[in-house]
Structure 1
Amino acid sequence: MQTAITQAQLQAALTARHGAERQEKLSRACIGIAGLGGLGSNIAVQLARLGVGRLVLVDFDRVELSNLNRQHYRLCDIGQPKPTALLQQLQQINPYLRYETHCLRLTPQNIPAIFADCSIICEAFDDAAAKAMLTTMVLQQLPQSVLVACSGMAGNDSANAITTKKRLQRLYLCGDGTTDINIDGSLLAPRVSVCAAHAATMVMRLLLGCTTP
């Protein structure tokens, strides 16, 4: 039987592990995640465990059987919209955070409004054109936001090849930069999760005032 945990108790537990100053910064933050597949779903779970105060979660897709090898979903989630299925899990991790979900396809027209309050946006798309579109929109239309993007996590090469690099003043890139799914043909949970952890770590560092990868 589950014991009811209050918001104060959960916040105290996070503060005990993270430190009061760090937790205060994390709790005040608003982070956007564009795409809730293998990258985005895992990034969201890690940010929720950090106690990031508000998460804006966006994806137009539904959970499929082929997603379960690497994405943070379960058999019981198949057929549900990804934002809905992920929200159920996040609320079980920390029900006291603010979650804003959007079941839609991101476009140049809706990106500025959806992510207007986000200091950091995580690009977690599979499609190269969508990645380029989001990058352009954030850098041109959302000057208050930093973009943490991902590229190169396919295959079974060493996890040590996955790194985080600062590409522009407001752009960080996580991945090995080479192993594209269209070339390698495989996406395996450990490497995808490592890249997601790199992105979540960069978000954490930025929120805590660190600008270097």
Structure 2
Amino acid sequence: MLNLKNESEFRAEIFARNPRGVSEILSRARVCILGAGGLGSNVAIMLTHAGVGEFLLVDFDIVEPSNLNRQHYALKHLGRPKIEALKEQILEINPYAKVQICGEKITSQNAREILKDEKIICECFDGAENKAMIANLSAEYRDKIFVCASGMAGLGGANSIQTRKFGANLYLCGDSASGAGLENGLISARVMLCAAHQANTVIMAILGEN
């Protein structure tokens, strides 16, 4: 068991393998994650492991058995709100993280109010309509960075998952083609590939590398 007296000691030990100076920058960063399912739960955990210090998690759903094949939850989380279970896991990794949760369903009516103070927004929704709604906001809010996803279903090759930049502040991760359905399905490795692209893009944006 670690016996670290303060946050500085904690970060020095836990994030010792980060490149020099990166941990301090990430610790001050805040990321809004819209959706806590296959993409969002994995993005949140990856960013926590990287050292991101603050989150806003937005989701209204609960953990169901069919989620466990690809989402970052366990049997003990079944029936619980995803944002609560995900917050718990984040704090188990980094007890100094600041995690705000919002159980509202994002709509065209409340999206602007929820996102008004957010600078980095990671869209991890399931439905195409909600995905398009968030992506379209990138043209309206040029001071925000939007990291969206489209296409990660089925058994396609890993190299078909890519990150593309559109305009000044919109990034799209995925193959932009494969939709989830009865034939394609959703496999953990491919969903996580897309989530990793999103998490990596967020980190690069925080560090100003894009």
Give the TM-score, by structure 2 length.
0.93
**Percent of residue pairs bearing the same amino acid type:** 43
Q: CA deviation at 1:15?
A: 4.9
Query: Using the alignment, how far apart are the partners of 1:51 and 1:205 within structure 2?
Result: 13
Worse-matched range after superposition: 114-123 or 171-180:
114-123
CA distance in 2, matches of 1:86, 1:35: 11
The CA RMSD measured in Å over matched residues stands at 1.6
For 1:195 and 1:71, how far apart are their aligned partners in 2? 13
CA distance in 2, matches of 1:139, 1:24: 30
CA distance in 2, matches of 1:78, 1:98: 24
CA contact (8 A) 2:153 2:179 kept: yes
Q: For residue 117 of structure 1, what is the aligned residue in structure 2?
A: 117
Superposition pairs of residues 109-188 of structure 1, within 5 angstroms: 109-140=109-140, 142-182=141-181, 184-188=183-187
Unaligned runs of at least 5 residues, structure 2? none
Q: TM-score, normalised by structure 1?
A: 0.92
Task: Provide runs of 4+ in structure 1 moved above 4 Å.
Answer: none
1:166-186 CA distances to partner (integer Å, 9 max, x unpaired)? 022110000011111137431
What is the CA-CA distance between 1:8 and the residue it aligns to? Answer: 2.3
Find the aligned partners of 2:202 and 2:183 in 1 and give their Cα distance.
28
User: How far apart in 1 are the matches of 2:138 and 2:166?
Assistant: 14
Paired residues, number:
209
Matches within 5 A, 1:25-40: 25-40=25-40
Q: Is the 8 A contact 2:58 2:101 kept in 1?
A: yes
Q: Offset at 1:20?
A: 4.1
Post-superposition offset of 1:193: 0.4
Per the alignment, in what secondary structure is the counterpart of residue 47 of structure 2? helix
- Check the 8 A contact 1:30/1:56 in 2, yes or no: yes
Go from structure 1 to structure 2 and tell me whether the alpha carbon gap of 1:102 and 1:4 turns closer, same or farther (over 3 Å shift).
farther
Q: How does 1:19-98 map to 2 (within 5 A)?
A: 19-98=19-98
Question: Which structure carries more helix by proportion?
Answer: 1
Gaps of 5+ in 1: none
Q: Which amino acid aligns with 1:166?
A: K
SS at 1:181 equivalent = coil
SS of residue matched to 1:182: coil
CA-to-aligned-CA distance 1:134-162 (integer Å, 9 cap, x gap): 2223432x332110000110011111110
Find the counterpart in structure 1 of residue 105 from structure 2: 105
Q: Secondary structure at the match of 1:89?
A: helix
